[in-house]
Chain A
Amino acid sequence: MRVLIPSWKFFDEAGHAASLRYRIGSSPQAWGDWQMPPSPEPDRGWKRLFLNARQNLHLAQGSLLERLLFEFSLSSHSNLSALQNETSYRLVKNWVKFEIQSQISAMTLDAPAHFQFEIQWHDFKDSSQATVLLSPVHEF
């Protein structure tokens, strides 16, 4: 039905954003630094009027975070184990694995044993940020 009667509320709420960070390790006791997925190189040329795949993917990935956080907010905060079986969580987890795999393919990284991710919530009105979701340790 949303196809027939879309909601056209664009940009109505401002000033906050979610971001993803992940870390990898050879063991749960030996972690690397937290890192963010690489952002696409901002291309301000005229070509991006026609094709802007990486930026559109980047925006879609941001929507994955927002959807996961929304579903997380609806569930009990202690019920992260149940959330792990939800599609939203799995897609974000896949995103992290995708980024790690990209680094392995580019030979900038050896295959890790474990990874973990967190979602941070940034409020630009008061310049604050907080971790709102910390995943368990996952095997790669």
Chain B
Amino acid sequence: MLLTEKFILLALLLQTIEFRQIRSVFSAETGIWRQDDLRLGLPPFLRLFLLPAQGFEALLLFRMVLIVLTAFLPSAWGFWLLFLSQLLIQLRVRGPFNGGSDYLTTLSLLCLAIWRSFPTDSLLSQAGLLYLGLQLVSSYWIAGIAKVRHSEWRSGKALGLFLQLPKYQVPRRWHEQAFDNSSFLRWSTWAVLIFELSFPVVLLQPALCWLFLPIGAAFHWMNVRIFGLNRFFWIWLSCYPALIECTLWLNANF
């Protein structure tokens, strides 16, 4: 978990720097996510925690300092505060900013805080480790199940459609070189589906991590190159050490 801690802190630092780079969108007068508009959809209790623009900027700065401090002096308090800061950010941006990466970030911080809060060999501490590992496995397996049910994914057509989406701005030459080739799309799709659907086997045999985790890293790297999903790369790879510990624990105890 120690490696997971360090990597997650790096992932958090990068996310926080990114929020600071786009902080104008949180401005009260000219921004997009304005506090006054966000308040409307919130129950009164949660409005208390909705930060104004200046407060949000202060939170980002505080979080950067806390990340560095926690990297050198890891503690349960540090991770609980980081978890709370993550909740405040999620509230301020009205939920996940970038989908699944935010969910796993929040979940990872919670599991790390729990792991740090109790003696290492205690059941509760191990629960934090196990839950993170199992959720990581689920993230691949459920994603695979969700895709394989659709004939468009099984034929490779869905991948082609995603690559056409304007929001990803995939270069035209990549389409000409590979992405317009239906065989390429079909083989690529099935490579991803097989990887995702078979991922749970790592729980049965820790040595399989040596096969699946490099493939996973390559998969997330390709998602950065093609779709720009850098946050997914850092947060998923951050959890890989925790997954290895999880599989070792499961095999030692069952």
Residue from B31, B94, B103 within 8 A of A2 (CB atoms): B103
* Chain A, range 1-54, C-beta contacts under 8 Å to B: 2-4, 6-15, 17, 19, 39, 42, 44, 48-54
B146 touches A62 (CB 8 A): no
Q: Which residues of B contact A75 (CB under 8 A)?
A: none
Structural contact, A42 and B169, CB atoms closer than 8 A: yes
Q: How large is the interface on A (under 10, 10 to 19, 20 to 34, 35 or more residues)?
A: 35 or more
- Which residues of A are found within 8 Å of B159, using beta-carbon distances? 14
Instruction: From known contacts A49-B233, A87-B38, A91-B32, infer whether A54 and B165 are also in contact, taking CB-CB under 8 Å.
Output: no
Interface residues of B in 217-233 (CB under 8 A from A): 221, 224-225, 228, 230-231, 233
Partner of A86, one of B41, B93, B97: B41
CB distance from B155 to the nearest CB of A (A): 11
State how many angstroms separate the Cβ of B154 from the closest Cβ of chain A: 12
| B158 contacts the other chain (CB 8 A) | yes
- Expressed in whole angstroms, the Cα–Cα distance for A86 and B249 within the complex equals 48
**B21 near A51 (CB under 8 angstroms)?**
yes
Residues of A within 8 A of B240 (CB): none
> CB-CB < 8 A to B225: which residues of A?
44
Cα–Cα distance between A95 and B34 once the two chains are bound (Å): 10
Bound: A67/B147 CA distance, A: 22
Interface string of B143-167 (1 = CB under 8 A from A): 1001101101100011101101111
* Contact present for B153 and A6 (CB under 8 Å): no
Query: A77-89 interface mask toward B, CB cutoff 8 Å, 1 = contact, 0 = none?
Result: 0000000011100
Contact B150–A12 (Cβ < 8 Å)? yes
Distance to closest chain A CB from B52 (angstroms) = 15
Taking a contact as CB atoms under 8 Å apart, the answer to whether A87 and B166 are in contact is no
Chain B hits for A59, CB < 8 A = 98-99, 167, 228
Q: Is the interface of B mostly helix, strand, loop or mixed?
A: helix
Q: Is A49 a contact of B230 with CB atoms below 8 Å? A: yes
One of A7, A9, A15, A95 near B152 (C-beta < 8 A):
A15
Q: Roughly how many angstroms separate A55 CA and B147 CA in the complex, as a whole number?
A: 25
User: Within 8 Å CB of B221, what residues of A?
Assistant: 49
Contact B97 A94 (CB under 8 A): no
Verify B142–A8 contact, CB threshold 8 A. yes
Q: Are A55 and B38 in contact (CB under 8 A)?
A: no
B25 in the interface, Cβ–Cβ < 8 Å?
Answer: yes
Query: How far is the CB of A93 from the nearest CB of chain B, in Å?
Result: 9
Within 8 A of B (CB), among A97-115: 97-98, 101
Interface with A: B53-61, B63-71, B104-112, B175-183, which one?
B104-112
B228 touches A52 (CB 8 A): yes
Q: Is A131 an interface residue (CB 8 A)?
A: no
Instruction: State whether B107 touches A50 (Cβ < 8 A).
Output: no
* CB <8 Å contact, A53 and B107: no
A61 within 8 A of B: yes
- Beyond contacts A48-B230, A101-B30: 17 other A-B pairs, Cβ-Cβ < 8 A, are A3-B110, A8-B141, A8-B143, A11-B158, A12-B153, A14-B150, A14-B159, A49-B221, A51-B18, A64-B32, A85-B40, A87-B37, A90-B34, A91-B32, A91-B34, A94-B34, A98-B32
7 A-B residue pairings within 8 Å (CB atoms) = A6-B103, A6-B139, A11-B162, A19-B166, A51-B14, A54-B22, A56-B22
